[in-house]
Chain A
Amino acid sequence: MTAPNHNLRKFKNAFMQTLACVCTVLVVLPLLLVFYHLLKEGFTAINWAFFTQLPKPVGETGGGMGNAIVGTFILLAQAALIGVPVGVLGGVYLSEYGGTKLNWWIRFAADILNGVPSITWGIVVFALLVVHNVTVFGQVLIPRGFSALAGGLVLGLMMIPLVMRTTEEVLQLVPGGYREAAFALGISKWRTIVQIVLRTASKGIVTGVLLALARVAGETAPLLFTALGNRFWAHSLTEPIAAMPLQIFAYAISPYDDWHRQAWAGALVLLLLVLFLNAGVRFLTRDRFQRKG
């Protein structure tokens, strides 16, 4: 029962299998290398002060980036407030409402927005919020200048197309039979979407939101124009605010060894933040009925 070229086939199979394995390793390897390097360089600088204290003036050792860590969370919270509702509802529109032709254009626009360089987003919000006051009926609503609000807005705007497209995709994965079953029970379309479709897809939507948050958490360029960075604690959303990527950038280009170590530590914490964000929320939103696999 030996086919002709049996050995050649076996060889081909082994060769392709090895190739696939090597490529898989190549995918995972950078993450491990980055993680190893960050641990090696940054771990020594991580201590309680790193999380709680302000940066020390040049020349003094110690201090931390507590303000940047808090700042990143504040920026992400604002971004989520803007990006999640708009993105999810936009995805609902694309998946559940909307005509084919209009949807094609909306998707096209969202895909282009996803490809817009982040620095461009920075300039847009810079022009909107930073260079002039935002006034409503002659009253200054948001005074001009670099601010946490501008930083949150730019990250939120970047999240919208990301969240919208992933939401649409996971809603499309919800079998039509569930929608039909709900309609056949006399449940209105809106309730069907909220209680049946979104609930069934909740895990996927949360994953999409997390990926979007993780993506914008590391953005630096747009924050240079908007949040600017701050050596101190920010006391209001209309002030400039520190953020980890900005702080890492500032420390990394400095000439001081102590700051370099802190930059490594900052990068490590940022990576861990993204990792824990993913793992933690996945755990919390695990489907109580979904079996493994």
Chain B
Amino acid sequence: MATTPKNPPALTARNLSIFFGANQVLKKISLDIAAKAVTAIIGPSGCGKSTFLRALNRMHELNPEARLEGEIRLCGEDIYASQVEPVIVRRRVGMVFQKSNPFPTMSIAENVTVGLRLNGVRERRLLAERTEQSLQMAALWDEVKDRLHAPAISLSGGQQQRLCIARALAVQPEVLLMDEPASALDPLATQKIEDLIIQLKRDYTIVIVTHNMQQAARISDFTAFFYLGELVEFDATTKIFTNPAKKQTEDYVTGRFG
């Protein structure tokens, strides 16, 4: 059954097109991302789902060839308005990557607070508080509380990824973008990340790109199916997986192509 969003959308994309040089990778995408819910983006490789995700916090601009048309609003504000700094957008819209990437020169605690410290926060008490709080939210606190000053790279792969989530949470973003956060992890670690995502949606708006159809079905409230740069279908996850409107969507979610 379709869940209707209780809150106004956290992010809205309108007629969003993105080009890398002459190559158009997204074609007039319009999509509302519900606040405090999990929205999954699925689709075969090269369909533009990662690019869409990265456009939500202006990360795609790291590619100097990128060009964008249309608009994205975060709580009503145009994040591509000329006076808006990408740095500010990224503090409000955090991101977790496919490959866990804790900073190798820093300890576990330093990794959690790096976003705060490098943005000028000095108060030790606040940093310590935020370290515990973020690690708690990332379900990692109990495993690392006795070795906060151990190197981050001494953690296992799954722990490293939860550390990256804690690091993203520590700057208190409104939205968390996740680009295949569990695709490099074993099933147990994947399950922990999925449980965590379900926990986090009470406080955060989450957008997750995934290749794993079961994962999208398990954890998301809404699902968008992208194909060849176009948004084919966007609806409540139960609808997409049980009764999709488009044949293409059905073929993809049932594994007939992609």
Name A residues whose Cβ lies closer than 8 Å to a Cβ of B.
175, 177-188, 191-192, 195-196, 199-200, 202, 287-290
Contacts and interface: CB of A to CB of B under 8 A. Distances in A.
Interface of B: 57, 59, 62, 87-92, 94-95, 97, 99, 101, 103-105, 107, 114-115, 118-119, 151-154, 164, 167-168, 171
B189 to A, nearest CB: 18
A191 to B, nearest CB: 5
B104 A289 contact: yes
Contacts of A184: 57, 59, 90, 94-95, 97, 168
Interface of A: prevailing SS: helix
Among B88, B94, B95, B104, find the residue whose CB has the most chain A CB atoms closer than 10 A. B104
B118 A195 contact: yes
Contacts of A175: 101
Nearest to A174: B104
Contacts of A191: 118
B103 A196 contact: yes
Nearest to B167: A185
B59 A185 contact: no
Nearest to B100: A177
Contacts of A287: 105
Contacts of B103: 178, 181-182, 196, 199-200
Contacts of A188: 87
Given A180-B59, A195-B118, A185 B101 contact: no
Nearest to B89: A186
A200 B90 CA distance: 22
A192 B168 CA distance: 15
Given A177-B99, A183-B59, 8 more contacts: A184-B90, A184-B95, A186-B171, A188-B87, A195-B114, A289-B107, A289-B151, A289-B154
A185 B114 contact: yes
Contacts of B114: 182, 185, 187, 195
A178 B151 CA distance: 16
Nearest to B90: A186
Contacts of B104: 178, 200, 289-290
Contacts of A195: 114, 118
Contacts of B99: 177
16 contacts: A178-B103, A178-B104, A180-B97, A182-B103, A182-B118, A183-B90, A184-B57, A184-B94, A187-B114, A191-B118, A195-B114, A195-B118, A199-B103, A287-B105, A288-B151, A289-B151
Nearest to A100: B64
Contacts of B151: 288-289
B164 to A, nearest CB: 7
Among A179, A183, A192, find the residue whose CB has the most chain B CB atoms closer than 10 A. A183
Contacts of B105: 199-200, 202, 287, 289
Given A183-B90, A185-B91, A187-B118, A178 B59 contact: no
Nearest to A202: B105
A195 B115 CA distance: 11
B101 A178 contact: yes
Contacts of A182: 103, 114, 118
A185 B168 contact: yes
A204 to B, nearest CB: 12
